[in-house]
Amino acid sequence: MIDQIRSTLNDNLSRVESLVNTYEHHPDVQGWQGRKRADLLDILRAGVVLLHASLEDVLRSIARWRLPSANADVLNEIPLVGQRGTNPKKFSLGDLTAFRGKTVDNIFAESVEAHLERSNYNSTNEISKLLNDVGIETAKVNAKFAELQALMDRRHQIVHRADRQDEVQGSGDHKIRGINKYEVRAWAEAVREFSKTVFTELEKLYPAY
């Protein structure tokens, strides 16, 4: 399982690097001095969004794998599948009729999957909680948290505000935040290094996988 998650991450990071390379070798970028056009920098912004998705894919894959086997305290925070919007700790015996013929493990897995469909990882606090839920001590893997938070903040700015900064004086491209390839590559390396440390801890905890 860990090898599969690692392989998918490597593929995704290659896609991010491909976007950076596309930007880097664009004829309107090469030899250009000064601020780049916003539409060209959108290639890098797309890389930021894909990079955050790559990080989330790692986290969701780990959650999908390990949360169904978590202890009662962790599972108590996940609603029974089909019970969205209700207290996860409250459901009637009759609610279980929808699961006749299924094992308890099936119900755990389906409930976790439904929960993950509505979950996001937009802060290092949320990442820490997941890591703790699957048995990883945050202090062992948090060396890149500052970079990861910067990545998540920038992704939020891009997705929810189109990377605009309306408080800035000026017009046109000056209303849109700048970004450069070095930032994106640094964030990609932070995702890679963070994931590497997480995989190492998972291999210690679950050597059979």
**Tell me: the pLDDT tens digits for 148-170?**
999 999 999 999 999 998 776 55
* Average pLDDT, integer, range 11-21: 98
Predicted model pTM? 0.87
pLDDT digits (tens, 9 = 90+) for 123-150: 999 999 999 999 999 999 999 999 999 9
CA separation for the pair 187, 16 (Å, rounded): 11
Q: Do the Cβ atoms of 121 and 59 come closer than 8 Å?
A: yes
CA–chain centroid gap for 158, Å, is: 15
Identify the CA nearest to 183 among candidates 27, 48, 15, 55: 48
DSSP3 helix / strand / coil % (the chain, rounded to 5): 65, 0, 35
pLDDT band, residue 61 (cuts 50/70/90): very high
CA separation for the pair 192, 157 (Å, rounded): 22
In the predicted structure, residue 116 carries a pLDDT above the cut 80: yes
In the predicted structure, residue 172 carries a pLDDT above the cut 90: no
**81 φψ region: left (φ > 0), alpha (ψ -120 to 50), beta (else):** beta
pLDDT digits (tens, 9 = 90+) for 35-58: 778 899 999 999 999 999 999 999
- Helix 38-66 vs helix 181-205: angle between axes, to the nearest 10 degrees? 10
In the predicted structure, residue 67 carries a pLDDT above the cut 80: yes
CA separation for the pair 76, 34 (Å, rounded): 54
Q: Is the dihedral of CA 54, 60, 63, 65 positive or negative?
A: negative
Taking all residues of the chain, what is their mean pLDDT, rounded to a whole number? Answer: 89
pLDDT band, residue 84 (cuts 50/70/90): low
Identify the CA nearest to 192 among candidates 1, 61, 60, 12: 12
